[in-house]
A and B are shown apart, each in its own frame.
Chain A
Amino acid sequence: MNEDWLIVGARLIDPAAGVDGVCPVLLRGGKVEAVGEEALRQGSAARRVAAEGLWLLPGLVDMHVHLREPGQEGKESIASGTRAAAAGGVTTVVAMPNTTPATDSVAIVELVRAKARAEGVVHVLPAAAVTKGRQGAELSEIGELARSGVVVFTDDGDGVANAELLRRALEYGSMFHVLIVEHCEDKALSNDGVMHEGTHSLRLGLRGWPSAAEAAMAARDIVLAEATGGRIHFAHLSSRQSLDLVRSAKARGLSVSAETAPHFFALNDGWLAGHPYDTDGKMNPPLGSEDDRLAVVEALKDGTLDCIATDHAPHGSLDKAVEFDKAAFGILGLETSLALTLDRLVHPGHISAARAVELLSSRPAQLLGLEGVKGTLAKGADADLCLVDPGQDWTVDPEQFHSKSRNTPFKGMGLKGRVKRTMVAGRWVYEDGKGILA
């Protein structure tokens, strides 16, 4: 049985409930039992957490996480990846289906769910592939998968290259209210590129990846979303061109949403000039120009971007301690996303703390159909939350990560804002200094 917990003294930031201020919260039976004066009245017998000076946020919902299980457990597992999530204040992750084999059937979805129940410490929502085996040739059984509870369908790692196939996925998926998540990459344009095409790729002699590779597919997808009325969500957008396309699609009232990843507002391709050939700066899509980075910040402010998702992509040294051309794409994200959001967006005044919570928690929860259940700490919501010290300075040390992997360009970087405690379904799962409690 879960204990009752009364959190007092913290600033509750819950934009979905319209709350931002010091406010007690009572958790009981894995749910939010009461908020405010009522919490104090009902919670006299509950264990108290005195959280003066801390921020109390609904647990973060990360729509884009590679847990690597089944198939690549050397890089990450459901056990290790969900621990990394807990340490980052993330209480719900959408697990990407580019596993081995691909998560394209109810059997594999159930395997992931069972593993998550047995070994995970946060909620895991498996996404399924749009196409069988992620081969881009035939639709996966979207209806059956949707009936089993899958909401997100994506071939992430690749886009759906065949326009007709995507058209049909949007049409067919709309019967089941699923979210098609697109990885935008026109491979004829990315063309074996390994970093953003620009001054730095020219100087380093690395094959350039033009930002048009992302925007060209986003443009096509918007046209198809408009034609079909289907719901499309763009993963990890990184470039000004793509964001401009999404902004105008939203202005026309299309059912389009989009995420970016923390590295796209925190870094640009100049990172590789400062760290030449460091494969921790290699990801797909690649770090853009400074102009792209500024466009990402602008789009986070003006609502063009709906959420921040990490694209947490663990890789071991076998895939990273190699030639830049041969290195795997991707970096870790779960254990730094909140801190980067605070350090780079909230503290400098680009966005409010409430907007950060929208981006990291309440909006992704809405997109996943979990409004009122997750992404908020209103009465009746799940007792998923984190306590954050917004002013704590710390230095990113990958050796301290709970992930199995160490691939992060944020190594050694000083950040302000740290997760102190994380609760999932009414139980504390992480405490700073003690580690994983579950």
Chain B
Amino acid sequence: MKRLSRKDLLDLESVGADEIRLILDQAAAFREVALRPVKKVPALRGRTVINLFFEPSTRTATSFHLAAQRLSADVLDIKVMDSSVKKGETLLDTVAAFEAMDLSVLIMRTAHAGSPALVAGRSKASIVNAGDGMHEHPTQGLLDLFTLQRHFGRLDGLNVAVVGDVLHSRVARSDVWGLLKMGASVRLCGPSTLCPQALKSVWPGAPVTVTHDLREALEGADAVQVLRIQLERLQRFLFPSTREYSRHYALTSERLALAKPGCLVMHPGPMNRGLEISSGVADGPQSAISTQIANGVAVRMAVLYLLAGNDAEAA
């Protein structure tokens, strides 16, 4: 059977279109598992998967946990409070201790860009980045691709707007890399402090535009990914108030009407209703937000399976 030839999934920047297709195809197969009465396959039986989360997370941690469980892995969730990292142990020592207990996959969520890469270079286990600082969140990128592909039947040629705090968003980076590799075009939109023009230089020559005008970003868009606004940004002088942010950038029904009819609305969660997205849109007919969550489990199953699964025990 086909398998990812890489040890780790740290980003989508370095993942090729063929690999993405392989993951999305496998995710489609696993999506069916979720419909069975017994939602389990033996693909990771006997393997140990550790969920190491240094940042609070409910949906991503749960999604990875369920994915590993449905693959019959032994799963352990470690939150930063419980770990010895707070006692002054270095990250590498913590991971070395796990590895001594025969770890197969380490799923990491951290506030520090590059930490999963640091660990990957020193560990025999497969490292899956579940979000590292402002860098990438590759499984979120993949589940967004999966959601778009299932909805539109293709990714090639789609126009996708990503709106909000692009500067600080690991989701945005993974989305852009993934969309570009699959032939889509991207409009990045937000205030100049949170979505600087310089972002274009990250993807030179690629179909990526940067605009500070939400109408421009939405016009003709097939889909829009709305990013979460973090209130800490106010302390860094990045925008004046939540009120002003909403006035310019909240996705409301009136604004959504500027996009293509049937424009798909996505949000990686958790949402600030009324700030970056109105409840009418979040709960409306064009919203794929709960589909994203459901797809997340299948995509993460695919990633874990393709990185670390036992041969001949596919779904």
Q: Which of B130-180 contact A (CB under 8 A)?
A: 132-136, 167, 170, 173
A199–B132 Cα distance when bound, in Å, is: 18
Q: Which residues of B contact A175 (CB under 8 A)?
A: none
Interchain CB contact under 8 A, B199 and A202: yes
Q: Find chain B residues with CB under 8 A from A324 CB.
A: 112-114, 118
Query: Are B113 and A206 interface neighbours, CB within 8 A?
Result: yes
B198 touches A205 (CB 8 A): no
Q: Which residue of chain B lies nearest to A318 when distances are taken between CB atoms in the complex?
A: B90
- Bound CA span A4–B112, Å: 58
* Residue in B92, B114, B167, B236 whose beta carbon sits within 8 Å of that of A276 in the complex: B114
Judging by beta carbons under 8 Å apart, are B198 and A277 in contact? no
List of A residues within 8 angstroms of B167 by Cβ: 202
- Considering the complex, give the chain A residue whose CB is closest to the CB of B93: A321
Q: How many residues on chain A are close to B (CB under 8 Å)?
A: 18
Q: How far is the CB of A243 from chain B (nearest CB, A)?
A: 22
Bound form: Cα–Cα A14–B3 in Å: 65
Q: Is the CB of B198 within 8 A of A198?
A: yes
- Is the CB–CB distance between A205 and B202 below 8 Å? no
**Interchain CB contact under 8 A, B90 and A321:** yes
| Cβ–Cβ < 8 Å partners of B5 in chain A | none
A335–chain B nearest beta-carbon distance, Å = 26
Instruction: Give Cα A425–Cα B77 distance, bound, in whole angstroms.
Output: 63
Does A370 touch B at the CB level, under 8 Å? no
Is A205's CB under 8 angstroms from B113's CB? yes
Interchain nearest-CB distance for B203 vs A (Å): 9
Residues of B within 8 A of A199 (CB): 198, 201-202
CB-defined interface of A176-198 with B at 8 Å, one 1/0 digit per residue? 00000000000000010000001
Contact A205 to B133, CB < 8 A, known contacts A323-B118, A325-B113 = yes
A279-329: which have CB < 8 Å to B?
A: 318, 321-326
The answer to whether A205 and B173 have CB atoms under 8 Å apart is yes
Partner of A325, one of B133, B202, B236: B133
Q: Chain B: interface residue count, which band?
A: 20 to 34
- CB of B295 within 8 Å of the partner chain: no
Q: How distant is B131 from chain A, measured CB to nearest CB, in Å?
A: 10
Query: B13 to chain A: which residues have CB within 8 Å?
Result: 203
A338 to chain B, nearest CB (A): 32
Chain A residue numbers with a CB within 8 Å of B117 are 276-277
Judge whether A111 is part of the interface by a CB distance below 8 angstroms.
no
**B246 CB within 8 Å of chain A:** no
The answer to whether A207 and B134 have CB atoms under 8 Å apart is: yes
Contacts of B69 in A (CB 8 A): none
Pick from A191, A205, A321, A322: contact of B136, CB under 8 Å: A205
Residue numbers in A under 8 Å from B236 (CB-CB) = 191
CB distance from A204 to the nearest CB of B (A): 6
Residue B115 at the A interface, CB < 8 A?
A: yes
Is the C-beta of B91 less than 8 angstroms from some C-beta in chain A? Answer: yes
Question: Nearest B residue to A326 by beta-carbon distance?
Answer: B112
Q: Which residue of A lies closest to B14 (CB)?
A: A276
Cα(A136)–Cα(B115), bound, Å: 34
A198: which B residues are within 8 A, CB to CB? 198, 201
Q: CB-CB < 8 A to A205: which residues of B?
A: 113-114, 132-136, 170, 173
Between A and B, 9 residue pairs with Cβ closer than 8 Å are A202-B201, A202-B202, A205-B132, A277-B113, A321-B90, A322-B90, A322-B91, A322-B92, A322-B118
| 8 A-B pairs closest in CB distance | A205-B135, A277-B114, A205-B134, A205-B113, A323-B112, A199-B201, A325-B112, A203-B202
